[in-house]
Chains A and B, each alone.
Chain A
């Protein structure tokens, strides 16, 4: 069990059965008075924010999370299936839970799946992924419009801005933290 003295940014606790991440914390103690522990927490399943104030003597159940390397297999409607290559155990995640991560999921991509008990509640991706450009307008030589980027669709269906010289069929590197084009894979 955690006590109020353990509260800090980044702590994961269970509240009403759900895992919460402490995203902001402050200790306040008016002169000679009782200490108050002010927290802002994010529900790790649905992302909602919650403000709670605690006092000395209160305790919390740690939310134990397990991170496991899994491979992305396939998508069916809004359900995405991942598999642990060691145990062949499979987990399914909703599109909503995945958020922007779905933009980079290519079959056989290895990701870290965050598990709360049996439930998969999120994934962490490599910072950079390589994806092939499936559609983009060719670079019109002598284009004087002054645009230094153009839209491109990659094989997962994600659309982003790339430099004008990128052509269809090229492999590009995308920064998954920003969702932006990073560089071109040569060769």
Chain B
């Protein structure tokens, strides 16, 4: 640690902070109320909630605005805020079959039990930049690719559907019926690992890896997923996506007096199940492996990467670098924080490095024999 040089310059620091505040809060454009941030930058807000590990749209939207749209900085603000909140209760375990779907697709199967409900998605829309001169008109506004929306409320499809359609049968259940899925459930249901209290280090239980992925920086997780799929590590994958869902789950806690579970709210999650063809020599080649992903808000990239990496981690995590990469490098606050800290004054650190070089050179000039010989250094040097 060599940051003790970060003294003085208080006026300069205050002025820099003032510059941020003035240009952000008194910009020559209307103030963006929290509601506007939530509704118009929904996916950014969801991403911030997921990466911070706190489900609260208002706070996440406020953080996003305060961070001037930087999702990682917003996650940092929100996670710092989270750490000040008292832990009042532990939520009851929730069964994802209770998910009330807003969107659900099964890419692996044309007619799964229940609907293929597209919901709110741009998956099938051409990526054409719209340059509207003003705010869009009311109903029937043509979209840039010519499809008319017919004034349909995006949620209408989901709202109109009846109960069974809102909680459709899971595709995995079908695979299990056909005895095509490897069953990893061994009946033991240990308390999930809480990465918010104890950092997870390899070897870690599956719940720790899943929690780390649920809170990981989305880009970092997708990059790790792509590395795993493309195969520089030599891991071969044949991946299909079983199911992707976005919907609402109830939050239940035990009533402090009666002890009965009561629903105190709901939260949106994205859930994904990936299917992988097992072909390893010591694997059950007559069945598929299934991986699971679940994260706060609507963030399909993260949930899908997570579901695939869940399988990859089970298959290759312990034999290669994957588990370490997953647990130690995907947290945005961790990696981003380390990067950002490099900008803080390192005057003392660097001066000691310069002095080491000078001492080495002085010793070389003096003709010492073994100067410059390398001594073994401990693993994990501190910068």
Q: Do A and B come from one complex?
A: no
Residues of B participating in the A interface, judged by any CB pair closer than 8 Å: none
